[in-house]
Every structure is written in C-alpha cells, then in structure tokens.
Amino acid sequence: MNSVLELPFNQLLELQLADDPVKVLQLPAGPQYLNHLGTVHASAQLALAEASSGEFLLKAIGNVTGIVPIVRRLEAKFRKPAQGTLVSSVSVPQGIESLRAELETKGRALISVQVELHDKSGAHTLSASVEWFVARA
C-alpha cells in the first residue's frame, strides 16, 4: 500500500492529501460529517487523526515490505468545535530513526505519532497520540 487513502473506509470518508504540503491529510467540509451541534463529529475527527498517523508512518517506513502496522492505542483531546474542512499535521515522533533497525533486529516495534487537527478558520480542534504496533508479517 502506498497510501492510507487506498483503504475503503478512508475512501468512504473522502479523505484527501492536504492542499498544503506542510500538512498531511484533510477531511473536506460536508453535511455528512456533522453532529447534532452542526460541528464536525468527533468520530470523523478521530478517523482523520488515525489516518494521518498511518500516512506519516507509511512515508517514514518507506519501502520496507512484509510489515503489518496495527493501531494499539489512540488518545485524543478535543480542543475546540470544528467547522468545515479539517487539516492534519504530524510531529516527527521520538524513535522514528531507530524504527527500521528495531524491525530488522526484533521483528517488531512500537511508535507513537502525535497528530494535530485544525479547521478552516485555523482553530486547533484536536490533539491526538496514536500508538502503532508494527511487526513483520
């Protein structure tokens, strides 16, 4: 897989690469993403955060074949109500440099990816930490 955008669930959500090259992914605006308050639903935000961490991980691992990444834990804090299009950014996690080596020697590794979501107005709507268990298939 070259991108998490190939996954059927992410296609259903219509996730896209972010227009801004500094960002990772975006969730377009649409009534299908709204909650009872008229703001972007928590589940839509969590899906964007998880997909963004996975997209970052795929790019960081590069061409390593025969591995299976699985989300082990996701912790999130909702900061402000989200309106319209959301974009994600990812911080380079500690241990990313040793991830490939750990996969080679141990056949498995844990890595946590920090994701931040902002809406069209620039409001910081969510902070998340997604912990991935990565193992050789």
SS3 133: strand
Closest CA relative to residue 71, chosen from 11, 111, 27? 111
SS3 12: helix
Q: For residues 102 and 110, is the Cβ–Cβ distance under 8 A?
A: no
Q: What is the chain's mean pLDDT, rounded?
A: 94
**pTM reported for the whole predicted model:** 0.94
Q: Can you give the pLDDT at residue 95?
A: 79
Distance (Å, whole) CA 35 – CA 18: 23
Pairing, β 124-136 against β 86-91: unpaired
Q: For residues 48 and 91, is the Cβ–Cβ distance under 8 A?
A: no
User: CA-CA-CA-CA torsion for 99, 104, 107, 108, nearest 10 degrees?
Assistant: 0
Domains of the chain by residue range: 4-136
DSSP for 34-70 reads B-TTSSB-HHHHHHHHHHHHHHHHHHHHTT--SEEEE
In the predicted model, residues of the chain with pLDDT beneath 50 are none
Q: For residues 88 and 64, is the Cβ–Cβ distance under 8 A?
A: no
| Class of the domain covering 4-136 | alpha beta
Q: Can you give the pLDDT at residue 104?
A: 86
Q: Can you give the pLDDT at residue 128?
A: 98
Q: Can you give the pLDDT at residue 60?
A: 86
